[in-house]
Structure 1
Amino acid sequence: MLIVEVDKVNWFGIGIFLLLSLIGLLLILKRAKYFLHMIQLEGYKNEQYIKWMENNSRVYSKKMKNTLLLGTIATFIYLIVGIILINTKLSVYLAYIYFIIWMAIMLMSIEKNIDEPKKPLVLTNRAKRLYYTNIALNIITTVVIYFIYSLFTSHFMLFLPIVIFMEMLLYYFQPLIMLLSNIIIKPVEKSINMHFYTMAQEKVKSMGNLNVVGITGSFGKTSTKFIIGTILSEKFKVLNTPESYNTPMGLSKIINNDLKEDHEIFVAEMGARNIGDIRELAELVSPKIGVITSIGPAHIETFKNIDNIMKTKYELIEELPTDGVAIFNYDNEYIKKLADKTFKEKILYGLEDKESLDIYAEDIQVSEIGSTFMVKDKEGNSIRCTTKLLGKHNIYNVLAGVSVARSMGMSFEEIKKGIEKIEPIPHRLNMINPGTGVVIIDDAFNSNPIGAKAALEVLSQFKEGRKIIVTPGMIELGSMEADANREFGVNIGKVCDYVILVGEKRTTPIYEGLMEVNYNKDNVFIVNNLDEASAQIQKIVKPKDVVLFENDLPDNYNE
């Protein structure tokens, strides 16, 4: 009779075990998806992903560590007591207790109040392949460990808890399993990438009448790309890479899917984090015109120093054909050095050393609604232009567009019409009037010292209302980051009436800079996220106030 009852209980126990296993699997897949997102944001680069893991508290949060600790203790106690009670009815009830404890521990590990991602996971074919590889690796690992454990015991009630404890281990170590999955699939991805890369490369080469404009720089690339595309569209059939598509696979996708035979110009943004990245992109698209917008300490963590950044950006110029045109922002001290050593045809633009410039602007009038200025060239041609873009720094980007347009034979009248049609680029000093009487300036995509300074200049031009800034500071500046943010704080203190800092640890240098200029502590608010920042704004904002959102940390950054 006892045996029959135990068997009945065992069948019920198996059902519970299968249910818990399914719940464990779903939690594993959910956690794996988060790390898939993070490795995607790191460009599927293992070294960058490892560095992110080392510096991110969410990888092994306090909750996750407690989950593993409690789960290990519960399993250890179960095995000891289970061996004592083996082959008794009590062993079955012990398993039930363990299952309940396991469920409670796993549910406790779930992170609550996670912010919506600013740049959501994109389930591209590559992301799907990596995710499936991760799932397969989890399954294989589980099967192998189960098999090894079964060599030591075949007793049902000692086996089941270990099975679900293994799920807990896999759940905890998903960051490493995702890394291992990326390593395993790398040869496959390399082969697939090369296929699409070669296909795109051949397509560009087959279009003999296509002119490719390559744009690179530490900052200003995306804005300049859209500006150039808008101006050139006055005369040509133009294709721009969308948003921030600036990697080999991003460009390959646009070329293979969107570039048509009737396109006359392809404007390609070129991003880089390492030496050789720009050369790889230039070999893909074969640019005839190369533009370097800026050089500064962006991505200094991967480049290590400014010299490496200069070397990488100059790869674009080195890859131009002998009849290509190199276009330089001559006001940038680093670019000036590169321009001076260039013997290909070149166009120099800027605002300062006008005697040396081919294209420049004078009589600049900047306001809170845009800018007007006179565009001139060294031949004496000139025209008065107006743009809705905010900030003096955007005039540099417009001048880059003028330089490209002139190299393509466009008249000043055509260029003027193009400049007037330029729309503000989202999240790049984009002014928003929500109809509440409060002006919002969205500069969320900016994270460099020059851009931050320019944003404050724009803010200072507003004559009415108080000025409020919301910022987490600047990132990826390496050893320069603390000093740059401290100087940012000093400049904020000279312009803003209220300061909302997002993230206490990261914004410490900004706070120190504010204190250097004896800023009123009562007007500084430190919050943990944008939701808290919005709540704080509601408490202090009044009609005619101007709120600047300066930079927004990507999802793979936290305190």
Structure 2
Amino acid sequence: MISLTFAEVARAVAGDLRPAAGADAETVVSGAVDTDSRLIEPGGVFVAKPGETADGHEFVDAAVERGAVLAIVERPVSADVSQIVVADVVTALADLAREVVGRVRARGDLRIVGITGSNGKTTTKNMLARILEGEGETVAPRASFNNEVGAPLTMLRVTEDTRFLVSEFGASGPGEIARLAGLVEPDLGVVLMVGMAHAGGFGGVEATLRAKSELIHAVRPGGIAVLNADDARVATMAQIAQAREQAVRWFGRGPTADVRAEDVDVDADGTTCTVIVDGARLPLRLRVLGEHHVMNALAALAAATALGVAADVAIARLQTLELAERWRMQPLGSSRVRIINDAYNASPDSMAAALRTLAQIAQPTERTVAVLGAMSELGEFSGEEHDRIGLLAVRLNIRRIVVVGAEARRLFISVISEGSWDGEAVFFATADEAYDYLMSELRDGDRVLVKSSNAAGLRHLGDRLGESFS
């Protein structure tokens, strides 16, 4: 975080400053801000966030032991540390992020990018950050820090030397993206797609469209909207951009996009294609597994070139990225049995893309195995979407389908109903049971996809399989 006095922090968060012995309102703090006491470093600020299972106020002493010099709390605690008492620490976190980013932006050379979409946010964020790091200090979220806590924590990592802030905006309901993006008013807003992810929380795909559109509403007038030309719902956001005097930069696979791809070819080591950037044709070799990541790469390239990075330079940097993120199409195992662990998150679109990738990369002599768990947050659409994925798995001729967890049982029933039987499809209530089965079933030449939402916990099953066959 940038250097601020205790008084300046207190004013930013509308809190009551209570300095510890030896400190006063003019004491300066510049350390990192965090809600996790285990991550606090000397000189840091600890935000005592109450949680569902633990209350951050109980960990103020632990934060002090790790070097915290200031705690933001909702009630005073008996710890030897300066405290700022606020009505709501999550609101205070957002207010502090707005203040810090605003001060850095006032110097004139900080560029801010916001990214949203039903799928691909984290991968695109990592791709864009990899490109921009070569231009200057770049701050981007760790993992999927994209909610009401994670997004402000990322913003608070900016320093006086930061040139680019890449923010990822997720949402579980209407208004959340507007609040988060409104803290920083991005110069660029990137919208990847509007799909069924979290549709249960939004009330349907049209409500999801309205929620994702909040990012373009938040981009400052005269900024740039980077939009998916292949997604009809995203394309409607051009009207919002034009009304706010924003330029529109299109990416996609179709011929009208400013940044597009042709001649896409997928294998077990990555994806090759020709990228056309404003008419210039350039080769791209993505080491990140999966054809669907081509669209994420196009979005990152569209944003980077809009920020002034030369297309050939951006592509060269992008090609150095080996992994989008842990548990996202992560290759594990060995050439003997290859495990693809993609079980950090799942929506109907990402589940379908992962299954298609599995089918694409397997050679005729190799057997495909899909280990599938539930897709969360689909609400009333859950049943039909699990049905659809079950049908797709059979029609892609996935040779073994292993369904795990009671919440995914309907997917298994759909597979059976579609005509996969006689041991081709099996169901297990727990990941441990599935692991035991797979250890006895997998053989040389198998290509295995592990895919589910985070809540299903199959990412740990994927890790176990990867270690066992490494």
TM-score w.r.t. length of structure 2:
0.76
| Distance of aligned partners of 1:554 and 1:213 in 2 relative to their CA distance in 1, 3 Å threshold | same
Partner SS, residue 407 of structure 2: coil
Distance 1:323 1:133, change over 3 A: closer
2:376 is matched by which residue type in structure 1?
Answer: I
2:228 matched residue in structure 1: 329
Aligned amino acid, residue 125 of structure 1: A
Alignment of 1:307 onto 2:206: yes
CA–CA separation in structure 2 for the residues paired with 1:556 and 1:386: 32
Going from structure 1 to structure 2, the CA distance change for 1:275 and 1:377 (only over 3 Å counts) comes to same
Assess if the C-alpha contact under 8 Å between 1:375 and 1:385 holds in 2: yes
> Which one of the candidate residues 498, 505, 520 is aligned to 2:400?
498
1:259-338 matches, cutoff 5 A:
259-338=158-237
Per-residue deviation, 1:132: 5.5
Gaps of 5+ in 1: 1-119, 136-181, 183-187
Partner of 1:484: 385
Partner of 1:10: none
Q: CA deviation at 1:548?
A: 0.7
Matched with 1:126 is 49
**Partners of 1:476 and 1:498 in 2: CA distance:** 26
What is the CA deviation profile of residues 320-344 of structure 1, one whole-angstrom value per residue up to 9, with x for unaligned ones? 1112100111111211222355312
Counterpart of 1:439, as a letter, is R
Matched, 1:544 2:456: no
What does residue 405 of structure 1 align with?
304
Instruction: Look up the equivalent residue of 2:93 and give its one-letter code.
Output: F
Cα distance between partner residues in 2 of 1:402 and 1:395: 10
Q: Residue in 1 aligned with 2:90? A: 193
Rounded to whole Å, the distance in 1 between the matches of 2:290 and 2:268 is 8
Would you say 1:234 and 2:137 are equivalent positions? no
**Distance between the aligned counterparts of 1:312 and 1:372, measured in 2?**
33
SS in 2 for 1:248: coil
- Higher strand fraction: Structure 1 or Structure 2? 2
* Alpha-carbon distance change, 543 to 297 in structure 1, aligned in 2, over 3 angstroms: same
Letter of the aligned partner of 2:288 in structure 1?
L
- State the identity as a percent: 25
In the TM superposition, residue 436 of structure 1 has moved relative to its aligned partner by 7.2
Equivalent residues in 2 for 1:246-261, closer than 5 Å: 246-256=146-156, 258-261=157-160
Closer, same or farther: CA 122–551 of 1 in aligned 2, 3 Å: farther
What residue is the counterpart of 2:103 in the other structure? 206
Task: Output the amino acid matched with 2:398.
Answer: C
Structure 2 residue 148 is the aligned partner of structure 1 residue 220: no
Distance 2:267 2:317 in 1: 20
- After TM superposition, give the deviation of residue 509 of structure 1 in Å: 2.5
Distance 1:553 1:246, change over 3 A: closer
Matched with 1:369 is 269
Instruction: Work out the CA distance in 2 between the residues paired with 1:282 and 1:554.
Output: 26
Go from structure 1 to structure 2 and tell me whether the alpha carbon gap of 1:366 and 1:555 turns closer, same or farther (over 3 Å shift).
closer
Match of 2:366 among 465, 490, 505: 465
Report the 3-state secondary structure (helix = DSSP H, G, I; strand = E; otherwise coil) of the residue aligned with 1:416: helix
Distance apart, 1:268 and its partner CA = 0.5
Judge conservation of contact 2:114–2:168 (CA < 8 Å) in 1.
yes
Q: Relative to 1, partners in 2 of residues 1:195 and 1:553: Cα closer, same or farther, differing over 3 Å?
A: closer
Determine helix, strand or coil for the equivalent of 1:234: coil
Q: What SS does the aligned partner of 2:384 have?
A: helix
Give the Cα–Cα distance (whole angstroms) in 2 for the partners of residues 519 and 226 of structure 1: 38
Q: What are the Cα deviations for residues 225-275 of structure 1, in whole angstroms up to 9, with x where unaligned?
A: 10111112232321111111112322222333x211111001000111111
Read off the aligned partner of 2:193 and give its amino acid letter.
S
> How far apart are residue 515 of structure 1 and its match?
2.7
CA shift at 1:351, angstroms? 0.4
Q: Structure 1 313/436 Cα, relative in aligned 2: closer, same or farther at 3 Å?
A: closer
Larger Rg: 1
Contact preservation (8 Å) 1:350, 1:396:
yes
1:474 aligned partner: 375
| Unpaired runs of at least 5, structure 2 | 1-35, 40-46, 59-73, 75-84, 459-470
The residue number in structure 2 matching 1:50 is none
Q: Which runs of 4+ in 1 moved over 3 A?
A: 120-124, 127-135
Gap change, CA 1:211 and 1:523, over 3 Å in 2 = same
The alignment's TM-score, normalised by the length of structure 1, stands at: 0.64
Distance 1:305 1:436 in 2: 42
Alignment coverage as a number of residue pairs: 381
CA distance in structure 2 between the aligned counterparts of 1:375 and 1:404, rounded to whole angstroms: 14
Are 2:241 and 1:339 equivalent residues in the alignment?
no
Q: Which amino acid aligns with 2:94?
A: Y
C-alpha distance 359-487 of structure 1, shift in aligned 2 (>3 A): same
Work out whether residues 234 and 414 of structure 1, in 8 Å CA contact, stay in contact via their aligned partners in 2: no
| Alpha-carbon distance in structure 1 between the residues aligned to 2:407 and 2:174 | 28
Of Structure 1 and Structure 2, which has the larger fraction of its residues in helix?
1
Q: 1:254 to 1:233 in 2, by over 3 A?
A: same
Can you list the C-alpha shifts for 1:396-423, whole angstroms capped at 9, x where unaligned?
A: 0000010011111111221121111112
2:292 & 2:284 partners in 1: Cα distance? 15
Do 2:272 and 2:286's aligned partners in 1 also have CA atoms closer than 8 Å? yes
Please give the secondary structure, in 1, of the residue aligned with 2:304. Answer: helix
